[in-house]
C-alpha cells in the first residue's frame, strides 16, 4: 500500500508539471513558428551603420548619435546567419535598449517611423514579448528579443540566428530592410539600412560547433516567388546552439513548449515500480 501511495504522488506531480507548462502560453505567429532557413548563399554579407545624427533629437540634445552597426554573414553551410552587433555612445539614461530589423528601409529623409513594424513574416506581433528560450516563436526581426538587449556601453556581441535569410524572395530576407534602435518604451532613437558589404568579416575566427540539425523545425528554402507579409504592428551566443533532446509538447493554439526531462523521469520511475509490483 505504501508503494501505491508513492506512485500516486509521483503521477500527480507529473500531471501538475504538464498542466503548469501547458498553462504557460508561448505565442507563435498566425502562420506558425519561424522556420530554419537553409540554402543561404555562403559568404553573403550585409551591414547597416547608424548615421551621424540621431532621429530622436531629445536623446542627444547637443547633437550626435549612437555609434554602431550590425553586420551579417551567411553561415558557410548555408543554414542561418551570423550577426556581429556593435554599439557605443549610447544615451546615458533610459536603457536597456533594444534593436530590431524592420520591414521597410529608411527613406531618404531619415524618418525611422517610416520603416514600419518589425520584420515579422509569420505575423506573430510584438506582444507578449519574445521568449529567448524558444526563438522559433519570436518575430524573425526581433534580434534583441532573441539574443539579448543592450546592457552596456560599449556593447559588442556576435551570435548565430537560424531564422534569418541573406537570399531574397522570402520574408526572412533582411538585405533590403533596416534596423531600428529603441528605448524600452519603443521610442525610436536611430535607424540604418542594410546594404551588401563584401569586405567585412563576421564569422568567428575560433572553431564553432556544427550546425544543429534542421529536422527539429520546418525549413525554408529561398525562392523567387514568395512575398513578404506586412504586419500591423536575451542571451548572446558566440557559437551555434546545440539542438535540444527534450521532446516537444504541443499545447493549445499550436504553440510548442518543452517539458523538463525530469518530468518524464518521474513517470518512467513510477511505471517501473508498478511493473515490479
- pLDDT band, very low/low/confident/very high, at 214 (cuts 50, 70, 90): very low
Task: List, for residues 221-230, the tens digit of each pLDDT value.
Answer: 444 333 333 3
- pLDDT band, very low/low/confident/very high, at 26 (cuts 50, 70, 90): confident
- Exposure b/e, 164-184, CB count within 10 A at least 16 = b: bbbbeebbbbbbebbbbbbbe
Task: List, for residues 95-131, the tens digit of each pLDDT value.
Answer: 999 999 999 999 999 999 999 999 999 999 999 999 9
Average pLDDT over the chain reads 78
Q: Distance between CA atoms of 35 and 140, rounded to whole angstroms?
A: 9
Q: What are phi and psi of 48, to 5 degrees?
A: -130, 125
Amino acid at each position: 500500500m505504501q508503494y501505491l501511495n508513492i506512485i500516486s504522488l509521483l503521477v500527480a506531480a507529473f500531471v501538475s508539471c504538464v498542466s503548469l507548462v501547458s498553462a504557460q502560453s508561448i505565442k507563435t505567429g498566425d502562420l506558425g513558428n519561424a522556420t530554419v532557413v537553409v540554402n543561404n548563399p555562403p559568404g553573403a554579407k550585409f551591414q547597416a551603420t547608424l548615421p551621424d545624427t540621431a532621429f530622436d533629437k531629445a536623446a542627444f540634445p547637443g547633437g550626435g548619435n549612437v555609434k554602431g552597426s550590425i553586420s551579417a554573414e551567411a553561415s558557410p553551410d548555408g543554414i542561418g546567419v551570423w550577426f556581429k552587433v556593435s554599439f557605443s555612445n549610447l544615451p546615458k539614461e533610459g536603457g536597456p535598449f533594444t534593436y530590431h530589423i524592420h520591414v521597410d528601409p529608411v527613406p531618404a529623409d531619415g524618418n525611422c517611423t517610416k520603416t514600419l513594424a518589425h520584420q515579422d513574416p509569420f505575423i506573430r506581433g510584438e506582444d507578449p514579448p519574445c521568449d529567448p528560450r524558444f526563438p522559433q516563436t519570436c518575430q524573425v526581426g526581433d534580434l534583441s528579443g532573441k539574443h539579448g538587449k543592450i546592457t552596456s556601453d560599449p556593447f559588442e556581441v556576435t551570435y548565430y540566428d537560424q531564422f534569418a535569410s541573406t537570399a531574397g524572395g522570402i520574408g526572412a530576407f533582411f538585405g533590403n530592410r533596416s534596423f531600428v534602435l529603441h528605448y524600452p518604451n519603443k521610442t525610436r532613437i536611430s535607424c540604418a539600412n542594410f546594404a551588401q558589404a563584401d569586405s567585412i568579416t563576421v564569422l568567428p575566427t575560433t572553431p564553432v560547433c556544427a550546425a544543429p540539425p534542421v529536422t527539429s523545425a520546418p525549413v525554408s528554402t529561398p525562392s523567387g516567388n514568395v512575398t513578404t507579409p506586412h504586419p500591423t504592428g536575451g542571451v548572446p551566443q558566440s557559437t551555434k546552439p546545440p539542438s535540444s533532446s527534450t521532446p516537444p509538447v504541443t499545447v493549445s493554439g499550436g504553440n510548442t513548449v518543452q517539458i523538463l526531462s525530469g518530468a518524464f523521469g518521474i513517470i518512467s520511475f513510477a511505471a517501473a515500480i508498478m511493473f515490479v509490483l
